[in-house]
């Protein structure tokens, strides 16, 4: 059955003059429904706005349709203010799942956050980080000397993970990509591909001398000692794409770019 979103669309803008103007024009035509009552959210901006919006709707089960006003727009559709209801009705859904992160800091506090792209650890000083990697309770790498390390979802594998020379994962693959950031030792280790049921723990070595921060998408915690990450299949979000431009197709096409 074709969905009818008439009168139930919420709009959100990145705040640039161009995005705000387009959002206001669309609100005049289609109205503007609060997130709590919307059947779909239309996000006008770039991939950063899309991530923020997906976090806002994560527990509400509301699909999000993006229109690109940013620079890359990997998670967005082409900009057009014509026939929005028809585009929404024909859009193809893709569901993605976040990583759940728990970070223990030096004060003993435990912080939790969700990441749709990746969880990253970074050195916080001029000193390189030293990190132990534990997968499902077994030490897999006793000491990685590096600028940092990240664990990426398939959806995030074409973002920072790709810039750090990590592998691109098919969007429906039940896999996670672990990728070091500027590794120094061991020199030849370039990361790992894990099943999505894995529980990964990163343990900071010499944490007082070599402080580390942990970041889940855009949420950062400093001076961490341990970071535990696993996929959370209970909190999926849905993106909508125009026919022929699905996230699956975009991820596949990215592998053949040169």
Q: How far is CA 29 from CA 6, 82, 83, 152, 253, in A?
A: 11, 10, 11, 39, 35
Among this protein's residues, is 142 annotated catalytic?
no
CA distance 192 to 177: 6
245 CB contacts (<8 Å, ≥6 apart)?
Answer: 77, 78
- Closest C-alpha among 116, 126, 182, 117 to residue 149: 182
CA distance 219 to 227: 14
What is the 3-state secondary structure of 26-71? HHHHHCCCCCCCCCEEEEEECHHHHHHHHHHHCCCCCCEEEEECCC
141 CB contacts (<8 Å, ≥6 apart)?
Answer: 132, 133, 186, 189
The one catalytic residue among 20, 32, 47, 242: 47
SS3 of the chain: helix, strand, coil, percent, to 5 = 15, 40, 45
Residue 116 contacts residue 153 (beta carbons within 8 Å): yes
Beta-bridge partners for 204: 131
Residue 91 contacts residue 239 (beta carbons within 8 Å): no
Residues involved in catalysis: 47
């Amino acid at each position: 059955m074709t969905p009818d979103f008439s009168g139930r669309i919420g709009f959100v803008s990145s705040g640039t003059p161009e995005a705000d103007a387009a959002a206001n024009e669309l609100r005049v035509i289609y109205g503007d429904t609060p997130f709590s009552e919307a059947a779909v959210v239309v996000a006008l901006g770039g991939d950063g706005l899309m991530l923020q919006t997906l976090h806002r709707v994560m527990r509400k089960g509301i699909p999000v349709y993006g229109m690109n006003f940013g620079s890359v727009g990997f998670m967005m559709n082409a900009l057009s203010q014509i026939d929005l209801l028809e585009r929404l009705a024909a859009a193809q859904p893709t569901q993605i799942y976040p990583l759940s992160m728990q970070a223990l800091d030096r004060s003993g506090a435990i912080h939790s956050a969700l990441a749709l792209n990746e969880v990253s650890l970074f050195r916080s000083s001029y000193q390189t980080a030293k990190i132990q990697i534990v997968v499902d309770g077994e030490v897999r790498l006793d000491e990685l000397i590096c600028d940092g390390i990240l664990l990426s979802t398939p959806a995030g594998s074409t973002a920072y993970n790709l810039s750090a020379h990590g592998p691109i994962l098919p969007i429906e693959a039940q896999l996670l990509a672990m990728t070091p950031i500027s590794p120094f030792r061991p020199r030849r280790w370039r990361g790992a591909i894990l099943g999505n049921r894995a529980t990964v723990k990163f343990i900071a070595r010499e944490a007082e001398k070599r402080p580390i921060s942990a970041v889940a998408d855009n949420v950062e915690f400093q001076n961490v000692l341990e970071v535990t990450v696993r996929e959370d299949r209970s909190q999926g979000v849905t993106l909508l794409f125009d026919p022929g431009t699905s996230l699956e197709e975009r991820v596949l096409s990215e592998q053949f770019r040169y």
